[in-house]
Amino acid sequence: MSSSRGVVDEGRLTDLTRARAKSEAAEWAAMLDYAVRLEAEYNSVDTTEFARQANIATIPLEIGTATALSEHQVHRRLTAADRVRGGAPQTWLAFESGRIDASRVLVISDAIDKLKREDSIVRLDQRVVTYAEGHTLTELRRWLKRFIARVETDLYRERADDERAKRGVHVEHGDDGMSWLSAYLPAFQAAAIDKRLTREAKALGADDERNTQQRRADLLASWLTTNESGEPANGADIAVTISAESLAGVNEDPIVSADGSWVMPAEWITNLVKTGDVLWHRIITDLAGGTLDHTYLGRFAPDVLAKAIAFRDAVCQVPGCTRSAQECDGDHRIAWPHGPTNGANLWSLCRRHHKLKSHGSITWHLPSGRQMPAERTAHSPPLGDVSWGEHHLAQILVG
């Protein structure tokens, strides 16, 4: 990077960043040592317990006066320094050497506070520095969320259930005719609402004079005060990843959003899949994180899947019907939610034949006299259930 004032190279910036981090570590260590010494002095004085605690409570104020920090800022630094220096030595050494800065140590300290088992903290200490020094603060926060949820799955699930019980909506009236509306919601619901607000705000077009945030606010107010929307308030495309082991019940690994910004217990998705309110995409991964399968968990196929099925089928799948598949319904051969919303279980049926199938009026008639429900197959019964001859001679019955 060059300018009229000289040249600053990348190495120089790295050195300055490391020097700043070392200075922060030295300051935190000095603050902690001072606080420990003062607390020991106050505890050694022969006085009442109330007086001792009152004196100890003034320590952050004394340090704040010397460092121009608030009591809250001092308390936050002291807590993090004590927790990391005592419980995560590799992380603290990385801080002292300038490999990670104070902001990263703070979020790592918060993660340590969430972990309840000593071996979990050791595992975090062994892995987090390598990730932290090569990624942004936002990426580190997301990584820590996933780590906590996976390393102590049982405890994470308990905390998540406890927090879910605290869900609620609060209104705080401000000045100038405005108020704050805040909602404490499960992450998947908040993510769905956020995505739908963004999608609908953009759909209003460039002619709308409101900025994006104004559109989002007005849309949310409209959805909450009227019934004009006509669709579920959570309707949005949400992609989540889940390990094959968790899906098979081998372990209880949590579900993670595709962008890694939130996690939730795997069992939470069970009831959501049945409602069909949220457009879910389930991505199954292997141990290395590779994609094994992608299944859409809502009832109605998203546009990309619907188009692919229409291209594949071309026309209504009842033999003799020539209605274009693009004008047909995407019907589940095995009824949803027991049957998945994917290419193997969806076929194109015109509205008339869809209704007939739903009433059990479409069946395959085999030369042997057997009849088979049409929803199990496309243009002919599966070879696994019938002979090769019957497979070609089967006729469909309507009505």
**261: nearest Cα among 196, 195, 321, 216:** 195
pLDDT tier for residue 20 given thresholds of 50, 70 and 90: very high
Average pLDDT, the chain: 80
Q: What is the mean pLDDT of residues 6-22?
A: 83
Quote the pLDDT of residue 366. Answer: 61
For residues 340-353, average pLDDT: 82
68, amino acid identity: A
What pLDDT shows up at residue 211?
A: 94
Render pLDDT for 237-259 as a digit per residue (tens, 0 to 9). 667 777 777 766 777 788 787 77
Whether the predicted model's global pTM rises above the 0.85 cut: no
Rounded Cα–Cα distance for residues 46 and 63 (Å): 24
On the question of pLDDT at 56 being above 80, the answer is: yes
Tokens 């040249």 label which residue?
7
Determine the 3-state secondary structure of 254 from DSSP: coil
- Model confidence over 83-96: pLDDT tens digits? 999 999 999 999 99
Residue 221 has pLDDT above 80, yes or no: yes
- 148 vs 242: which has the higher pLDDT: 148
How far is CA 252 from its chain centroid? 16
Residue of 391 and 213 predicted with greater confidence: 213
3-state secondary structure of 151: helix
Output Rg (C-alpha) for the chain, integer angstroms.
Answer: 30
Q: Give me the sign of the Cα torsion angle 233, 235, 236, 240.
A: positive
Q: Among 296, 246, 290, 299, which Cα is nearest to 268's?
A: 246
In this structure, are residues 309 and 323 in contact, taking their beta carbons and an 8 Å threshold? no
The residues, any chain, with a CB within 8 Å of residue 337's CB and separated by 6 or more, are: 273, 274, 276, 299
Q: Angle between the 118-132 and 89-96 helix axes, to the nearest 10 degrees? A: 30
User: Which of the 8 DSSP states describes residue 234?
Assistant: T
Q: What is the 3-state secondary structure (H, E, C) of 184-202?
A: ECCHHHHHHHHHHHHHHHH
Q: How far apart are the first and last CA of the chain?
A: 77
Residues 133-136: contacts with CB under 8 Å, at least 24 apart: 133/94, 133/99, 133/100
pLDDT score for 297: 63
pLDDT tens-digit map of 321-331: 888 888 888 88
Question: Which residues lie below 8 Å from residue 335, measured CB to CB, with a gap of 6+?
Answer: 375
Q: Is the predicted pLDDT of residue 210 greater than 70, yes or no?
A: yes
pLDDT of residue 274: 53
Distance CA(94)–CA(101), nearest Å, equals 9
- Report pLDDT for 360: 64
Residue 384, pLDDT score: 52
380 by DSSP, 3-state: which? coil
Residue 33: both structure tokens together: 């040592």
* Most confident by average pLDDT, 66-75, 360-369, 370-379: 66-75
Beta-bridge partners for 324: 315
Neighbours of 349 (CB within 10 A): 27
pLDDT of amino acid 291? 63
User: Where do the domains of the chain lie?
Assistant: 10-151, 187-298, 303-398
For 111-147, the pLDDT digits (tens) are 999 999 999 999 999 999 999 999 999 999 999 999 9
pLDDT at 379: 44
Ramachandran sector of residue 362 (left: φ over 0; alpha: ψ -120 to 50; beta: rest): beta
Q: Identify which has the larger pLDDT, 295 or 66.
A: 66
The pair of three-digit structure tokens given for residue 264, joined into one six-digit string? 């939730």
The percent helix, strand, coil of the chain (3-state, each to 5) is 50, 15, 30
List residues bridging with 295 in a β-sheet. Answer: 282
* Pairing assessment for the beta strands 279-285 and 237-243 based on DSSP bridges: parallel
Q: For residue 64, what are the CA distances in angstroms to 32, 36, 80? A: 12, 15, 16
Q: What is the β-pairing status of strands 329-332 and 346-349?
A: antiparallel
Euclidean distance between CA atoms 87 and 108, whole angstroms: 11
Amino acid at 191: A
pLDDT class of 393 with cuts at 50, 70, 90: very low
Across 105-114, 140-149, 186-195, 359-368, least confident range: 359-368
